[in-house]
Structure 1
Amino acid sequence: MFGAVQFGLLAAGIVLFVPMGMAGWHLSRNKMLFFSCALFITLAVGVHLTPFFPSISDFLYKPYSISDSSLPTGTASSSMIRDSCIYSLHSVVMYKSNYSECVNGAIDSNSDSGCKKMSWKWTQSGSIAECEFQKLKKPDVSVLLNGSWVVVAGDSQARLMVVSLLELVMGSEEIKKIRGDLFKRHSDYSTTVDEIGMKLDFMWAPYVRNLTNLMLEFKENKDYPDIILMGAGLWDMLHVNNASDYGVSLSALKDSVLALLPVFRNKDSIDRGVSESAWIRSPHLFWLGMPVLINSMLNTEEKREKMNAVMCNAYDDEVSRTKLLRQSGGPLLKLDIHWLTDLCAPQCTADGMHYDGVIYDAAVQIMLNALLLESNQKPR
């Protein structure tokens, strides 16, 4: 394929050498000048019109592909490819687990039945396949999260995300040992995975104002996590049941999150007089969306009355309206639990609100692949 520079050199060569060749055939000077001018004008017009003919443009200008190793890191093209892949992360399908998947470790820590009833995978259409999404195993996750401070804040949905993340890092047997502490009602939980130096804090924060206060606390202490995953709305819907007030709280949360960007790595770096440019960075920020609520399966009359489809849609609309999410120009990348649960409901839930581990496993893998894309890494 010709590039623009090569095509220009070819055109210049034709303009220069063809008239010289014609002169060698003893054509008259007037004929040679006429032909030269005609040739030059034709080529000039052709070059300017080429962009308007896609078939010619495609021939002359070869586009970069996601797998092209010559793509320079940090270019506008690589940024566009990365963003395209990030917004394709939820392109998954759910299917019934087979026997071999259960034998090979598709165990549900959140279910008494043992084997996960459903499994998931990314779709393999052309553009999505080029993103090379992968279900990361423990070795790759250990490298990716090595030395990281991860904060997960929210309600029971966020707690289930912690289960899936720790199961991936520590194994299902270790999760059984800590499950009692992790699931103490309405409590925080902290652990350190010594093997990789990862610190994980779960903050019980069922209301958006709790999340806002947590962001303000990080700002005040000048000590910030590497990864913040947060989400709230179910408790607000049940106990407040006012979408407009929820939107006001989301706007305040957005302001508190934006105040973190960019941030200092830690307070000690400032005290030691380390230059600002050497320490500024930003945490990776994720928003945990609300699940599909199956009204007929909710376990109390109050929930069935207040957490109906109309109210769920109103709360989702407030998330979009406040532009909290990166998809609408905000700071947080959404993990779309609503979409994932919609693919699996109702066979993946016993109470219409809390879902089997397959949902949160998929959300964790989507988050980890987003981290890989944002840090320009690939698993080993």
Structure 2
Amino acid sequence: MSKRDYYDILGVSKSSSADEIKKAYRKMAIKYHPDKNPGDKAAEDKFKEAAEAYEILSSPEKKQRYDQFGHAGVGSSASGGYGGGHMNMDDIFSNFGDIFGGHNPFESFFGGGGGGQQRGGRRVAKGTNLRIKVKLTLEEIAHGAEKKIKVNKLIVCKTCDGSGAKDKSSVSTCGTCGGSGQVRRVTNTILGQMQTASTCPTCNGSGQQITSKCNVCHGDGVVRGEETITINIPAGVSEGMQLSMSGKGNAAPNGGIPGDLIILIEETPHETLKREGNNIVYDLHLSFVDAALGMSIEVPTIDGKAKIKIEPGTQSGKLLRLKGKGLPEVNSYHRGDEIIHINIWTPKALSSEERSTLEKLRESPNFKPQPGKNDKNFFERMKEYFE
């Protein structure tokens, strides 16, 4: 079964602002919230579907890939995200608590959990994202590449294993919230008593207190360090495209959820080949003699050398196509072509013997330009090849 368009799910357009997308998601989340629709599987599916759509469209990087490649650009291999919508309620509440001000809007009525990054009802911090640039050659873009990158970032403290405590006995249950990570308050309103929950101010939602801090990380659970990360880059990426690796960003304090690693693609210019979308363009310079008599010649491609035949009487500006010798599309078997642009090279200086030979040919009728009606100009040929 094909996946629905994310814009259709939220009822917004591609030109909608981030605020409009957020409001549309909030409206649907409230409408189909499981607490409001107990036992309704269809409502729960719509709730998850809306959360998946918002997870993509609320991220500038993922939204860009989705707009360019559709669902194929934001699958599990591309985004490191939910990869097909296998979301549970903990995922949704932990990632989108900010939509409702950091807590589940229904918990005051139903006493539910949710809100913020949580594990087992406790609030867990999330590490910040990291951005790096990776330079790729055309050959690497054509075939995909594996890069090992050393990244300087916050890593989990090995001394305390990320707990921030000096030892196991230096951690105790928070006395304020009793280990739940939340404090609850009951207020009287004209509608009766209402219960609200907020993050515990003593333990910041962790449910634990450190009585003696680690001597290395001083209670943070993280230290500055270096990690070698292997990045598998799919074939067909382009300049400015961003990829994401979930959990490879900065480590979070006190055993929290690590951030993501955002990879910005940069292309290294090729010595002779130029990229035009998924096509490769090569300028081939021929002498007047070779163009007139015809010849066989080798030309460079991203896969090595290829031999082509130049027909006798080839005109300057002619375009030749090498089918399938271009770049692939991301997550697709389709490849572009290599376009060879013929340029007739005219010598700038002649010897007396060369000049004498050419003077004899100047008046020959066969050497006077005689373009045919069916001969296309340069722009018509370019349009034909790139349509």
TM-score bucket (shorter structure): under 0.3
Larger radius of gyration: 2
TM-score by length of 1: 0.20
Q: Bigger relative contact order, structure 1 or 2, given CA contacts below 8 A and separation 6+?
A: 1
Return the structure number with greater strand share: 2
TM-score by length of 2: 0.20
